[in-house]
Amino acid sequence: MGKHNFVTIADLSREKILYLIKSAQEFEAHPNREILKGKVVATLFFEPSTRTRLSFETAANRLGARVIGFTDAKVTSATKGETLKDTILMVSNYADVIVMRHYIEGAAQYASEVAPVPIINAGDGAHQHPSQCMLDLYSIYKTQGTLSNLNICLVGDLKYGRTVHSLIMAMRHFNPTFHFIAPKELAMPDEYKLYCRDNGIKYIEHTEFTEETINQADILYMTRVQKERFSDLMEYEKVKNVYILKNDMLTNARDNMRILHPLPRVNEIEYDVDENPHAYYIQQAQNGLYAREAIICDVLGITYDEIVKDKTI
């Protein structure tokens, strides 16, 4: 497959997901290569980020590419009224691939329709975060040895959390059972529950975060309540500390159970959980580097054989 976009996880087949995991494994074994020597990767971040931007930029650097971009749209001509279309067309003049995070749902899809170079969606509003999803899948595969037939608890802000929306869609190929654990104000939106029903994905909804549910989990996927998506901060104050994971809740967890979190965390995992053998969120973020090396190569049409053949530096 030649150059293409990476905008929504819904586009990815089972085979493509497994292929990207295989590529990520190869990059984890040998992260430093020159396969993108002479290429330029643009990172356009209209919303704040630590992990996504820095891991994409590290991935580009480790692959031999150079990086341009911005971390704050206020320093760009968007403040003078330049449209997203014109911004994308301009950056396409300079870069071979564009990684973009935007606060508007659908912005990445729109950019992909106007750009002559591949677009990678680094998060669009509360909609999708497909590269995070690939690193989540890689982390699940690494810790469980499979993606199939797993019990996955999604906890916290299931309304605005774009990572959980992407994960549901990706897991449709692998017969999961989901537990959606959220207060009613932050419940999984109907469109994703409908998606589960249409795709034969089993799910159970909970408003209580109990040890009984944790004890059934292979993956406990914690999320932050997304303050920036609330129009009424009083509503945020009501739910911001609704679920807090503590060490003593993990006593009877399955041995294989791993705690994931896309990060940043605010208050939903106590710091002493970090030392618990079930905690995996720091390694999960590291896996983002390898998954993103795989994604950048894939959108540029670089094959696995070319990756393997490339001289490791």
Active-site positions? 51-52, 80, 101, 129
Question: SS3 letters for the chain?
Answer: CCCCCECCHHHCCHHHHHHHHHHHHHHHHCCCECCCCCCEEEEEECCCCCHHHHHHHHHHHHCCCEEEEECCHHHCHHHHCCCHHHHHHHHHHHCCEEEEEECCCCHHHHHHHHCCCCEEEEEECCCECHHHHHHHHHHHHHHHCCCCCCEEEEECCCCCCHHHHHHHHHHHHHCCEEEEECCHHHCCCHHHHHHHHHCCCEEEEECCCCHHHHCCCCEEEECCCCHHHCCCHHHHHHHCCCCCECHHHHCCCCCCCEEECCCCCCCCECHHHHHCCCECHHHHHHHHHHHHHHHHHHHCCCCHHHHHHCCEC
* Site residues for ligand CP per CB under 6 A: 49-52, 123, 132, 262-264
Nearer to ligand CP by C-beta: 50 or 175? 50
**CB of 264 vs ligand CP, minimal distance in Å:** 6
Tell whether 118 is in a known binding site. no
Tell whether 224 is in a known binding site. yes
On whether the CB atoms of residues 239 and 268 are closer than 8 A, the answer is no
Tell whether 66 is in a known binding site. no
**CB of 155 vs ligand CP, minimal distance in Å:** 16
**CB of 44 vs ligand CP, minimal distance in Å:** 13
Tell whether 172 is in a known binding site. no
Distance in angstroms between the alpha carbons of the first and the last residue of the chain: 26
Tell whether 162 is in a known binding site. yes
Count the Cβ atoms, other than its own, within 10 Å of residue 239.
18
Tell whether 284 is in a known binding site. no
On whether the CB atoms of residues 7 and 108 are closer than 8 A, the answer is yes
Tell whether 263 is in a known binding site. yes
Nearer to ligand CP by C-beta: 69 or 123? 123
Nearer to ligand CP by C-beta: 105 or 113? 105
Nearer to ligand CP by C-beta: 50 or 286? 50
Nearer to ligand CP by C-beta: 50 or 146? 50
**CB of 160 vs ligand CP, minimal distance in Å:** 13
**CB of 51 vs ligand CP, minimal distance in Å:** 4
Give the residue numbers of the binding site for carbamoyl phosphate. Answer: 51-52, 101, 129, 132, 263-264
Give the residue numbers of the binding site for L-aspartate. Answer: 80, 162, 224
Give the residue numbers of the binding site. Answer: 51-52, 80, 101, 129, 132, 162, 224, 263-264
